[in-house]
Structure 1
Amino acid sequence: MLVAAGIVLSANHASAAPNYEFGTHERIIDIGYGVFATPMSVLGEVMRRDRILQQQAESAGLEFRWHPYEKGVDSLKDIVAGKLDASMPTDVVAISAVAQTDVMLVGYVRQSFATVVGPKSWRMVDLRGKRIGNAAGTSGHNALLHGLDSAGLTESDVTLVQMNVSDMPSALLAGRIDAFSAFEPTPSSVLRQHPIRFGALHKQISPAYFILQRSLSIRNPEGARLLVASLHRAVRWLGRGRDNLTHASQWTLTAMREFSGREPTISEGEIIRFTRQDLLEIAGAPRIPANESESGSALSRNFEFFKKSGMLPAQLSWAKIQSSIDRNIAGQVLKDSRRYRLDEFDYRP
């Protein structure tokens, strides 16, 4: 990973992202999400169709704008620049954002794995000197770093081939790379389609968060609460039956096609499965777990790994990461669930 000023991932090193028009008025709230990363993509597509949120926004004189990205790391420069008021990044990008600007982690939107995929008979040590498909700064990159470390290797022992996650399966099948490391659903899709040829060489826990600019909660606290309410409403709606999950997965597939101009490699059934196991089956989600700020959480373990590897500035403390975790906004919304209409649903294309 390229390191700039000691930061785990500099916003200037995030890969190319769409050039969106962001709101310049304080009443406009911009939200980003990774269109190929489930279940964040599902949440993005459901929330942008939330008619209750739209009605509440109109009453409050607000406007919410939604911006899909290839992957969460692409949104980092816009988060750091203050252009995005909210986003749904993995812990890698979330830690980078906390290190570079003042954001809050207010929701828990995924607990999944990023996976290093390679030939079935290989182990991580067999990657020495090999070409590995990689998207810098993503949870896949994090998994690769952990896996290499566990095998006594470093990035200098392999050849990283930078590419979009959506291009990794075809590159692997064509022999342009020997392995790749990526976030779900890409690894599972490849392993399902080619179970004899490829296997999982290493897996790394990959949580993701709903983050807000702290400035949003100060200048427009009601807007922040409405957005968090929409997140909780979306999760409740998704958990109320397969029909809702089916509609959401179809919206997500459409968004993937429109963004890339290609047919997605993931199926409707896989999106439903990942949304269930990585979000809906997590107790208490999407509220941040009470122990997330404690030593031993996935977030703290990754923070310590980055510190040990010299990829975070020496002055960055765990206390700063802890202070970014906010359960109060969600608590306010849940306490006044009738006002925020958490059990009413109106989603339309």
Structure 2
Amino acid sequence: MKKRTVAALAVALTVLTACSNGDTGATLELTAALPDKVPGGTEIRIGDPAIQAIVQASGLDSELTDAGVEVQWANISGGPQSIQAFRADKLDCSAVADIPSLFAAWTGTSTKIVFQSVTVDPVEHPIYRLGVAPGVNVASLADLRGKKIAYSAGQAQGALVLRVLQKAGLTQKDVTLVELTSTGDSYATALGSKAVDVAPIAASQVKIYKAKYPAGTSISHGIRDDASTLYCLTKTVQDAEKAAALKVYVGVRAKALLWQNQHPGEYAKVYLQDTQGLSPQDAKDVVAADGTKGIPATWDNAIARLQATADLLAEQQNHEKLDVTTLVDRRFEKVEAAAAGSAVVSGDAA
């Protein structure tokens, strides 16, 4: 499946309505071993656009086909879109940071994290920087006092804002949080129009932001923000056929991330340029900003970080306390590590 097929398969949520399917296999207990055999034609509906492009460019799609797995790709990622699709039963799994799994639980949608990846050097290659509006003086975290900050409670950017305030010794009362969902370049636009003074923007997009708004600046927040997961409806991993297919997909996904590390130029072309529409130079800059991705040998540290985030959000946003171990399916932990082989990241610094 090549470029034209990628476009055809990256269907919108409305198209997925026609492909929606309910439970297809026998119920699999969450404590049972993952099945090894995939019944032919088993379909899983996945929103994982970057991995989709890599899988098809690298030839890893043949591993899915050979195993009897049919992936119905959706051009969906991130918390708001994926939770909406989950609730409509139009999606099985989606690529997100760590926050959507928490908000899914808090809003009554049962999901399980089945994949964890990390940035090998997360502080040197953060996912976000703090964008600063033109003419606004913010040179350090202490300067956030009194500023208007873009904030989306159910997204990773929102959790980062709370963690930044915590690090700066500030509270929500010391700033003005402006409710604004982060989609596309919405935060950059809000900065450029001075609707907000500060907003978390993707580190890989800082150059583009500054090119559009030359007087805009950005600062580092110094907090680890590299959480990256694949989460699925709980009923998907309880479906024996889909769980078997997902086991194959998780292994292929690990290999796809390693391929991305080894083929940065090709990744820039097939995803950032051909799918995201970036220029060759901007795509190159994004790859450089992203850093090397890794597959952790264990999820222990990732789960500890997720618990700390859940505790902070419960306190700051008046949510119920959550035991985040109920949100992860560690049966897939060894699946991705085995697929990565000797390339696993053994330390995964907390």
Same fold (TM over 0.5): yes
Tell me which residue corresponds to 2:188: 169
CA distance in 2, matches of 1:266, 1:98: 40
The alpha-carbon deviation at position 310 of structure 1 amounts to 3.8
Tell me which residue corresponds to 1:47: 55
Structure 1, unaligned stretches of length 5 or more? 1-16, 34-40, 258-262, 343-349
CA distance 1:161–1:289, change in 2 (3 Å): closer
- Aligned 1:81-100 pairs, distance under 5 A: 81-99=88-106, 100=108
* Aligned equivalent of 2:267, options 248, 268, 290: 248
Task: Describe the SS at the equivalent of 1:301.
Answer: helix
Tell me which residue corresponds to 2:176: 158
Tell me which residue corresponds to 1:324: 327
Tell me which residue corresponds to 1:145: 162
- Aligned 1:1-349 pairs, distance under 5 A: 19-22=14-17, 23-25=19-21, 26=24, 27-33=42-48, 42-49=50-57, 51-54=59-62, 56-57=64-65, 60=68, 62-69=69-76, 71-99=78-106, 100-111=108-119, 112-118=126-132, 119-124=136-141, 126-127=143-144, 130-149=147-166, 150-154=168-172, 157-158=175-176, 160=178, 162=180, 164-187=183-206, 190=209, 197-200=216-219, 202-206=221-225, 207-219=227-239, 220=241, 221-240=243-262, 244-253=263-272, 254-257=274-277, 267-277=282-292, 279=293, 282=294, 285=295, 289-293=299-303, 297-313=304-320, 316-318=321-323, 321-332=324-335
The alpha-carbon deviation at position 234 of structure 1 amounts to 0.5
User: Over residues 265-298 of structure 1, what are the superposed CA-to-partner deviations in whole Å (9 max), with x where a residue is unaligned?
Assistant: 9812223224433x1xx4xx166523433xxx32
Kept after mapping to 2: 8 A contact 1:92/1:138: yes
Superposed structure 1 runs of 4+ greater than 6 Å apart: 191-196
The alpha-carbon deviation at position 337 of structure 1 amounts to 8.8
The alpha-carbon deviation at position 197 of structure 1 amounts to 4.9
Tell me which residue corresponds to 2:8: none
Kept after mapping to 1: 8 A contact 2:165/2:172: yes
User: Over residues 61-111 of structure 1, what are the superposed CA-to-partner deviations in whole Å (9 max), with x where a residue is unaligned?
Assistant: x42122223744322222344432111111111222244333222222344
The alpha-carbon deviation at position 159 of structure 1 amounts to 5.2
CA distance 1:310–1:335, change in 2 (3 Å): closer
Task: Describe the SS at the equivalent of 1:21.
Answer: helix
Task: Describe the SS at the equivalent of 1:96.
Answer: helix
Kept after mapping to 2: 8 A contact 1:72/1:89: yes
Task: Describe the SS at the equivalent of 1:19.
Answer: helix
CA distance in 2, matches of 1:64, 1:323: 26
CA distance in 2, matches of 1:181, 1:193: 16
CA distance in 2, matches of 1:310, 1:159: 12
The alpha-carbon deviation at position 324 of structure 1 amounts to 2.6
CA distance 1:286–1:191, change in 2 (3 Å): farther
Q: Partner amino acid for 2:236?
A: L
CA distance 1:335–1:192, change in 2 (3 Å): same
CA distance 1:121–1:108, change in 2 (3 Å): same
Tell me which residue corresponds to 2:33: none
The alpha-carbon deviation at position 116 of structure 1 amounts to 2.5
Kept after mapping to 2: 8 A contact 1:127/1:158: no
CA distance 1:57–1:141, change in 2 (3 Å): same
CA distance 1:68–1:24, change in 2 (3 Å): closer
The alpha-carbon deviation at position 210 of structure 1 amounts to 1.6
User: Over residues 144-185 of structure 1, what are the superposed CA-to-partner deviations in whole Å (9 max), with x where a residue is unaligned?
Assistant: 223334443317941516253413334433444322223443
CA distance 1:89–1:334, change in 2 (3 Å): closer
Q: What's the RMSD between the two structures over aligned residues?
A: 3.6
The alpha-carbon deviation at position 193 of structure 1 amounts to 8.6
CA distance in 1, matches of 2:339, 2:237: 17
TM-score normalised by the chain length of structure 2: 0.69
The alpha-carbon deviation at position 44 of structure 1 amounts to 3.8
Q: Partner amino acid for 1:114?
A: Y
CA distance in 2, matches of 1:20, 1:120: 46
